[in-house]
C-alpha cells in the first residue's frame, strides 16, 4: 500500500443525475482533491474517489495521508483509494 501525502484542497460529491442522451443514471461519487509536488517541484492536483467524505471535510487546507494504489496506462501514474486492511472504510 502507498500513502499519498499532500494538502487537501477539496472534498465534495460529483455526478448524480441522468444522461440526457442515453438515460443512464449517473451515480454520485465522493472525491478528494489533493495538491502535491511533482519531481520538478511543480504543483500537481490529484482527484481521488473515496468511499466517504467522513473525516476529510474538516481538513481542507491541511496535510492529509490517503491510502492509495498506483496505476498507469502508458501515461503518468494515477492513484486510486485503497482501504487499509483491518480498518473501516
pLDDT digits (tens, 9 = 90+) for 28-73: 999 999 999 888 889 999 999 999 999 999 999 999 999 998 877 7
Listed in order, strand segments (DSSP E) in the chain are: 2-18, 25-37, 43-49, 63-71, 78-81
Q: What is the pLDDT of residue 88?
A: 56
49's grid cell: 474517489
Q: Name which residue leads in pLDDT, 2 or 8.
A: 8
What's the CA angle centered on 30, arms 41 and 88, to 5 degrees? 95
Angle, CA 52 vertex, CA 48 and CA 57 arms, to 5°: 85
pTM given for the model: 0.76
The values of phi and psi at residue 53, to 5°, are -90, 0
Binning pLDDT at 50, 70 and 90, where does residue 10 land? very high
The domain ranges of the chain are 2-17+24-81
What is the pLDDT, as a whole number, of residue 15?
84
Amino acid at each position: 500500500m502507498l500513502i499519498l501525502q499532500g494538502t487537501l484542497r477539496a472534498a465534495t460529491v460529483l455526478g448524480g443525475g441522468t444522461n440526457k442522451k442515453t438515460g443512464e443514471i449517473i451515480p454520485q461519487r465522493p472525491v478528494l482533491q489533493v495538491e502535491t509536488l511533482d519531481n520538478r517541484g511543480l504543483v500537481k492536483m490529484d482527484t481521488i474517489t473515496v468511499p466517504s467524505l467522513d473525516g476529510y471535510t474538516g481538513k481542507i487546507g491541511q496535510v492529509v495521508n490517503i491510502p492509495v494504489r498506483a496505476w498507469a496506462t502508458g501515461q503518468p501514474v494515477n492513484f486510486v483509494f485503497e482501504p487499509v486492511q483491518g480498518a473501516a472504510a
